[in-house]
A and B are shown apart, each in its own frame.
Chain A
Amino acid sequence: MTDRELAVTQDDLHAYVDGALDPAARAKIEAYLQSHPEEAGTVAAYERQNEALRALGASLEQAVDGSPFWLRQGAKQRHWAQRLLWVASVAALLLLAAGSGWWARGVIGPQPEQSELYQLAAVAYRLYTVQQRHPVEVWANERDHLQKWLGVSLNAPFVAPELNQQGYDLVGGRLLSNASGPAALLVYQRADSRRIVLYVCQPPGKGQGKAAFEAVGDLGTFTWKFGPLWYSLAGNLDADGLKRLAQVVNQQAITGQILSPESLARHH
């Protein structure tokens, strides 16, 4: 062995496999592998691993790409362990409730926060979408002002989502209140005058914020949580239609809220 060959280390072989060497170092390893079949076999095995891992990545990416992300959890069954925990905590609450008499007063029910939220959205839908002159307080032509105003009121970065590509134009919005504080209502309208509303508020209380579809008569609602806010969409749509819209809203909540200059400023 020459001195040059002695300088080839295990790290060099990995760096060779991962393309992390400059051309000179690469040539040196190639020469070394010519005369060292065992190491050449190791390198080939590592290269096959990288190829297989890239193929696995492509296959997984394809698998995740087709499946809705944010809203999948509510539709899916939770792990049995989580369900068991939930059952246990409900049981504990019931015991507490029985002891203190809450149960008799009907305070405790399953997931009160979530059911409260979709009902609030449904009520807001019925109340405001039929209004011709005053469906909103601030119209879409003052969008910046609307977003700022509602964001300050909710004490969270707030972006009125664009749903134009889905066929809905923003009509405007208004500030509402519920038992837990301020709430924002945005009204959207299609070319055929059909409307939907997006109801946004702070967490009404403790809750998982699992995405959930609820039908209230002919009205559909889809409710979920993202970041510090809860969202509920209401409209004459089925679960899939609302989910698709919710997905768009969430994408914009992620990209718009995280990266908007307003949100950066407000965090300081």
Chain B
Amino acid sequence: MDDLSLQLERQIPRLRRYAMALVGDPTRADDLVQDCLERAWSRVHLFRPGSDLRAWLFTILHNLHANAARRYNSRPMEVSLADDSHVPATPATQGHAVVLSELRTALTHVPDDQRQVLLMIGMEQMTYQEVAAVLGIPIGTVMSRLHRGRERLRELLGGEPGGKRGRSE
């Protein structure tokens, strides 16, 4: 039980940063995480000890996010992700910081379903199987969202757009 408690506590910063990258606005992100933890609280009897706590929390978070997105009528993420006022300056070099702020702006222009996959794989380093389980979609769908997301991001970040490439050559 102590292990589980520690695991859960360890997940909170991860959930927060993921939510922040996903929805952009810090207040909305923390609302989402708070709702997620409250939902987890009310459904603790559904959690099987020994199973993956992070995946369970991410699943809950995505369900809540999907509901919220429907309520907001699929409004694209708020522009404040592009507004750096909420995020403290990174102690990295200026060049690095510029890249990050460009990345955050670019992410706002990636469709929500592709952004989720990009973030879970690129930022959270989940496996394709884990992402498929969290989102409740087949791995093939994970792969196609990943591909479209990466191509979109590449375009936005000034790289030459690929996309001409087929499934094989």
Nearest chain B residue, comparing its CB with the CB of A50: B122
Chain B interface mostly helix, strand, loop or mixed? helix
> How many interface residues does B have (CB within 8 Å)?
58
Chain A interface mostly helix, strand, loop or mixed? helix
Q: Which residues of B contact A259 (CB under 8 A)?
A: 1, 4-5, 8, 44
CA distance A72 to B150 in the complex (A): 34
Q: How far is the CB of B88 from chain A (nearest CB, A)?
A: 5
Please name the 7 residue pairs, one residue from A and one from B, whose CB atoms are nearest each other, closest first: A53-B122, A267-B45, A60-B17, A255-B5, A57-B123, A64-B16, A53-B123
Binding site for B on A (CB under 8 A): 1, 5-11, 14-15, 18, 20, 39, 42, 45-46, 49-50, 52-57, 59-66, 69-70, 72-73, 76, 78-79, 226-228, 251, 254-261, 263-264, 267-268
13 contacts between A and B (CB under 8 A): A18-B121, A42-B165, A45-B159, A52-B99, A54-B122, A57-B17, A61-B14, A69-B33, A78-B27, A226-B38, A256-B5, A259-B8, A264-B44
Q: How far is the CB of A82 from chain B (nearest CB, A)?
A: 9
B169 and A60 contact, CB distance less than 8 A? no
Q: Is B100 an interface residue (CB 8 A)?
A: yes
CA distance A7 to B118 in the complex (A): 25
Q: Is B104 an interface residue (CB 8 A)?
A: yes
Q: How far is the CB of A144 from chain B (nearest CB, A)?
A: 15
Q: Which residues of B contact A10 (CB under 8 A)?
A: 143, 147, 165-168
Q: Which residues of B contact A251 (CB under 8 A)?
A: 9
